[in-house]
Structure formats: structure tokens, C-alpha cells
Amino acid sequence: MIFYLHIHTQNAVIFDNEGIDLPNFAAAKAEAIRGARSMMCSEVLVGELDLDQKIEIHAPADHCLGTVEFTDALSIRGDRDRVAHRHVNA
């Protein structure tokens, strides 16, 4: 089955016009999680991380089957209040 993984950032929606052929929704969700983690890695490499993003999993008829919030794609350990208010100069 073809699944479309649409990326929602704070400023834009990046539509997946090609889709990916996967056996089922569980595989599509796993792919969305991998994609979210990959995007977060790229952001961290430049000293940023925006957790207010998500990937929507759509069926061919543009029906949303589910959503992977970036915050659901990883575990965060440590003092979140301290981390949230800290600014790093590189």
C-alpha cells in the first residue's frame, strides 16, 4: 500500500507527493518515526531542535491515518526546565 508522509513544521507543510510503498500502517508509522528522528538529528547538528513538528501518515485518498509528533519519536532525559531556557552560543 502507498502511504504519504506529510511533514508539518511551524511555518509550512511539506507534502509527500510520491509516497512510499509499505506493507501496512505499522511500517508507515515506523518510517515516520525514522524520518522525524533523522530531521531532529539534522537540526541538532546546527544547534537547534524544534519539537513542535509532526509527520502525518496519509492513505492514497488523502485520508489521515495517524500522526507522529516529534516529541513522541524520542525520550528526553534531564532537567527539561533548565534545558528549555538555556541558550547555547557556538
Confidence at residue 76, expressed as pLDDT on a 0 to 100 scale: 81
Q: Mean pLDDT for each 10-residue chunk of the chain (90 residues)?
A: 96 96 97 97 94 96 93 83 58
Q: Which residues have a Cβ under 8 Å from the Cβ of 49 and sit 6 or more positions away?
A: 40, 43
Q: Which residues have a Cβ under 8 Å from the Cβ of 73 and sit 6 or more positions away?
A: 33, 36, 37, 40
Q: Which helix (H) or strand (E) holds 31?
A: helix 25-45
Confidence at residue 1, expressed as pLDDT on a 0 to 100 scale: 93
Nine cell digits for residue 84: 528549555
Distance CA 90, CA 81 (A): 21
